[in-house]
Structure 1
Amino acid sequence: MRTAKFWVGTVLAGALALGYGCGSDANKDPAPQDAPQQQVPDAGSDAGVVLTLTDAQIARVLQVANEGEVMLGQYAAPIATDPSIRAFNEQMVTEHTAVKQRLDALLATEGIVPEDSALSLQLQTEVQQIMLVLQGPNAPTGAALDLALISAQLNAHARTAFIGDSLLTPQAANTALKQELENERQAVQMHIDAATDLQSGLVMPPAMP
């Protein structure tokens, strides 16, 4: 099974944008036979961690990614002041809930029982940290809040895309699971493109004639 190097980033929060970072190094050299398959990263560490994932662990990462984007959407939609930001987050709740249901049905059919890994636990922690920032006493308001909300969704989707490309799809063994990964990757890209346009509109609104 191939491996990839995943750079675990810390949560970054700002007045105008929220997100979490990850590096772009994705090496696929085989790991030594006696190498540990997973290492839980230290909190806040940027050290590279080589992860080898089973189909069960890949399935759980997919579940967590969809659950996180639904969580962000459920929080953002009622408090967004910009109608387009509200609509986008409502769309994320609807679409990622449907994807999660489709994924769960596929896993049941294929007999894959999701299993947590260092990566799925890390993703859960990062979404929780972002939610704490968004709900905290120093959270932005007004237009800055709208920008923070769409930036959180954009970064979550970009994170999912990176993980899918560098870790999940290359390692998936089950054919149906691999196809699901490819389908979800296409949807995630559409969400990234839409969120990027919304973010740009808030950062650089159209000039008045």
Structure 2
Amino acid sequence: MLKRSAALLLPFALAACAPSMMAPNASNVDGLYLQAVTGSNLFEIQSSQVALQKSNTPAVRAYAQQMINEHTVAQNQVAALAAARRVPLPPALPPELQLKVNTLSGLSGAAFDAAYLREQAVSHLFTVTIFQNELTGGKDAQVVAFANQNLPLIQRHLQEAVALGGSTSPAGQ
């Protein structure tokens, strides 16, 4: 009887422990922001590495190298902020962004350039929103300061992608 009672209570005991089993600060606004920015940075870096392999257009290649350089610096700052706050960062791209990188990898020539620039524009537009949300709702002064300092950079990346031919509509129109 005791074993049966224990088995029935196990799910409730696990549920009661679940909040303490969660990573510290993973669910607060600032922690979620750091996790979201990590996904964005990883996408910018990985998709731009593909661009260096696939594109023959000097302006696209220069933009891609700029994305790698600037998002790597930003990610190093995000990682330091996250480590100090014990916020776990995703080790890899979320599946939907990995799918985009895989799709880009299968393209070449003008089709690649158009798709890459479109994805850059859409991604940076989304990232601007993430940064604006942190500026509005963030609680941690250092994380908010990072967002404030880097928002103009993300906005510039968006403008550059659009100027190179990227569209902010998913269909590229």
> Normalization by structure 2: what TM-score?
0.71
Question: In the alignment, is the contact (CA less than 8 A) between 1:53 and 1:171 conserved in 2?
Answer: no
**What is the alpha-carbon distance in structure 2 between the residues aligned to residue 126 and residue 183 of structure 1?**
28
How many residues end up aligned between the 2 structures?
139
1:189 and 2:159 equivalent? no
Shift of 1:183: 1.5
Question: In the alignment, is the contact (CA less than 8 A) between 1:73 and 1:90 conserved in 2?
Answer: yes
**What is the alpha-carbon distance in structure 2 between the residues aligned to residue 112 and residue 130 of structure 1?**
30
Gaps of 5+ in 2: 1-26, 167-173
Shift of 1:53: 4.2
Gaps of 5+ in 1: 1-51, 201-209
> 1:33-72 CA distances to partner (integer Å, 9 max, x unpaired)?
xxxxxxxxxxxxxxxxxxx843222211122211111111
Question: In the alignment, is the contact (CA less than 8 A) between 2:60 and 2:113 conserved in 1?
Answer: yes
**What is the alpha-carbon distance in structure 2 between the residues aligned to residue 171 and residue 100 of structure 1?**
21
**What is the alpha-carbon distance in structure 1 between the residues aligned to residue 141 and residue 65 of structure 2?**
31
**What is the alpha-carbon distance in structure 2 between the residues aligned to residue 81 and residue 128 of structure 1?**
23
> Normalization by structure 1: what TM-score?
0.60
The structure with the largest alpha-carbon Rg is 2
Shift of 1:115: 4.1
Report SS of the residue matched to 1:99.
helix
More strand by share: 1
The Cα RMSD (Å) is: 2.2
Identical pairs, percent: 24
Partner of 1:66: 41
More helix by share: 2
Amino acid in the other structure paired with 1:81 = N
Shift of 1:144: 2.1
Report SS of the residue matched to 2:59.
helix
